[in-house]
Amino acid sequence: MSALTWKLKRLQAMGLPEIGYRVRQMLHTNLEACGLGRARPGPPVEAVPQSAWVDVLPNGISPLPYIVAANRILAGHWDVFSLHDIALGFPPVWNRDPKSGCEAPLAFGKTLNYRDESVVGDIKYLWEPNRHLELVTLAQAYRLSGDARYAEGCRVLLLSWFEQCPYPLGPNWTSSLEHAVRLTNWTVAWHLLGGESSPLFAGEAGAEFRRRWLESVYLHCRFIAGHFSRFSSANNHLFGEYMGLFIAALNWPCWKESAHWRDQAMIGLENEARKQNAPDGVNREQATWYHHEVADMMLLCGLFGRAHGYDFSARYWVRLEAMLTFIASIMDVAGQVPMIGDADDAVMVRFSREAGFNPYRSLLASGAVLFQRTDFAAKAGRYDDKTRWLMGDAASGMFDQLRQPERERPAPRRAFAEGGYYILGDHLDTPEEIRLVIDAGALGYLSIAAHGHADALAFTLSVAGREMLIDPGTYAYHTQKRWRDYFRGTSAHNTLRIDALDQSEIGGNFMWLRKANARCMEWRCDAETEQFTGEHDGYARLQDPVRHRRTIRLEKSARRIRVGDTLDCAGEHLVELHWHFSESCRVTLAERRVVARHGAVTLEMNMPGVDWSPNLVRGLEIPPLGWVSHRFDEKTPTTTVVWRGRIQGTTTLETEFKLAF
């Protein structure tokens, strides 16, 4: 897509107030590029306080994983998305994309086109090391071992960054969110290194290092405060920008602007917690990974705020608890969460270096302590390292009490009407559970719905902790447009596609134009059956409009699921039903029946009433089909079953699933 085409489509998603705002921002940027209005940091006017985010930093953590990880970093070996143990050196070249090797120019940052691969490479890969998650790992290793090599590594890393990334030049002075995440990691590392008492600040050289660090903190805060993501971009980016500004202003209240930044960010966080998250706890971006990210931001800001005497409102904490309730509700008995919507693997701070770390269970562990929730503790399973870093050693005893089997636990919530998600199931949270998570929500948040997928009325299925029908994930962001479009398109979800078109119309990598509207018409549960009915209007835009209505019925005793798809239309249409199986499933055909086995679980699927034959697809490149992506920029072949045929006029199609385990 040409730059002009993208800009024209982006304008379609803006109202007049946003266009005016962006014109003013452009003029401001042009003045800054000429040297007018740039930040001029003065000396700190206040001392740095000693408060961390927890009263006493923990000691009950095994140092070995952190030391091993820190040694790899010092040896110049990094992990960046799909690049594992890549030799970037220590310190790395900060303005170089580690994937393509493209080194971005030190042009004025806000006018640098970071979407242009020929200029910056893959910007996600370039930005990731610059978030300085590894700085925290080095600081953790120092805190746990006392070995000065790790503290010195932090100094080398930061000084090299200050030298290679001068304000306001290059790709690391383009995005306020990247500044915010970097500031958050700097804050955590500052305290792990000893705060104002750190040996890194001793002597003349130490004082100069401290001065340069604080100067960069100031420049980061000024940059964020001058470049917030507004209007149609005011999604998790804006929340993250407020997070970084709030935490930095609390930790370094050193300048006359600091109190204003703190208060501005705190008000913004309160407002965005309400705007971006529905009252039922569902994040409005309709993407489970971003749900996790925003919940994590709220948790971090809440803990830092309380530690410094700036607690958030009760409404803020209630909204966070509701978000964790949603995570607990869609998580299966094995701790797996459907990969609904976009995911980029981003974390705000990489606190844990444990093998098999589960970020969703970790949030529930922290939530169990904060909200005294026995159900959160049960689903979290253990007091993980991240929770220990955040909550301290003392809270582990409280967690252990909450997860005692004799403690009463509330029944899992099953309906999230504002967010549009519904859970059908049997024997939930037991080894014999059947769990379906159904999506009848909006496409995404705000006019561009940046991180939503065209997945209306899709559902996932987990049986006895084994994933059977899955959401295949995301895979690509700024690059590889064919794959970006596939993974967020309708054919990559367990729903129905008409005339080879997506339910909603793609406008760009992070933009949708015409959007499908989905709604729940019925959701009911009783002892023997549970049923959901919903519809969407995504294909009402066709010359012969089609309305898709889906009924999903779980018959518990029979261990059977019936899916009825009714298509209201007048003319002839091509219909494709896609069913995406976990890569752990062995899927075979038996005449017109599909049999999928995952461990002791067997699923048998058929379409009675039509003469269409199922087609098994695995790892198809053109067009893409039969893939799953559990991590950003990594994909694995898996089996997708496709039933394809033509209908004439209003038609109901039935798919039947029989379970055995």
CATH no. for residue 119? 1.50.10.100
Give burial (CB, 10 Å; 0-12/13-18/19+) of 15.
exposed
Residue 48 located in a structural domain: yes
Task: Please report the pLDDT score of residue 49 as a whole number.
Answer: 81
Q: What is the three-class DSSP state of 588?
A: strand
DSSP string, 357-369: --HHHHHHHHHHH
Q: What is the three-class DSSP state of 379?
A: helix
Contact (Cβ atoms closer than 8 angstroms) between residue 74 and residue 68: no
**Residue 17 and residue 87 share a domain:** no
Residue 63 located in a structural domain: yes
Which is it for the CA torsion 478, 480, 486, 492, positive or negative?
Answer: negative
Q: Which residue do the tokens 């383009």 mark?
A: 174
Q: What percent of the chain has pLDDT over 90?
A: 92
**Residue 49 and residue 24 share a domain:** no
Contact (Cβ atoms closer than 8 angstroms) between residue 487 and residue 476: yes
Indicate if the pLDDT at residue 101 is higher than 90: yes
**Residue 125 and residue 250 share a domain:** yes
> Band of the pLDDT at 1, cuts 50, 70, 90?
low
**Residue 548 and residue 456 share a domain:** yes
**Residue 48 and residue 30 share a domain:** no
Q: How confident is the model over 94-120, as a mean pLDDT?
A: 96
Q: What is the three-class DSSP state of 614?
A: strand
Contact (Cβ atoms closer than 8 angstroms) between residue 54 and residue 392: yes
Structure tokens at 392: 């301290």
**Residue 374 and residue 301 share a domain:** yes
Amino acid letter for position 454: A
Among 643, 638, 601, 280, residue whose Cα is nearest residue 435: 601
Task: Please report the pLDDT score of residue 47 as a whole number.
Answer: 81
Q: What is the three-class DSSP state of 496?
A: strand
Instruction: Give me the CATH number covering residue 546.
Output: 2.70.98.70
Q: Which residue do the tokens 């899927």 mark?
A: 587
Give per-residue pLDDT as tens, 442-476.
999 999 999 999 999 999 999 999 999 999 999 99
Contact (Cβ atoms closer than 8 angstroms) between residue 303 and residue 54: yes
- Could you give the CA distance from residue 22 to residue 20 in angstroms, rounded to a whole number? 5
Separation in Å, CA 159 to CA 109, 205, 214: 20, 12, 12
Give per-residue pLDDT as tens, 217-250.
999 999 999 999 999 999 999 999 999 999 999 9
Indicate if the pLDDT at residue 623 is higher than 90: yes
**Residue 7 and residue 92 share a domain:** no
What is the domain count for the chain?
A: 3
Threshold 0.85, pTM exceeds: yes
Indicate if the pLDDT at residue 315 is higher than 70: yes
Q: Which domain holds residue 209?
A: 39-402
Task: Please report the pLDDT score of residue 9 as a whole number.
Answer: 82
Give backbone dihedrals phi and psi of 357, rounded to 5 degrees, phi first: -60, 135
- Could you give the CA distance from residue 644 to residue 469 in angstroms, rounded to a whole number? 18
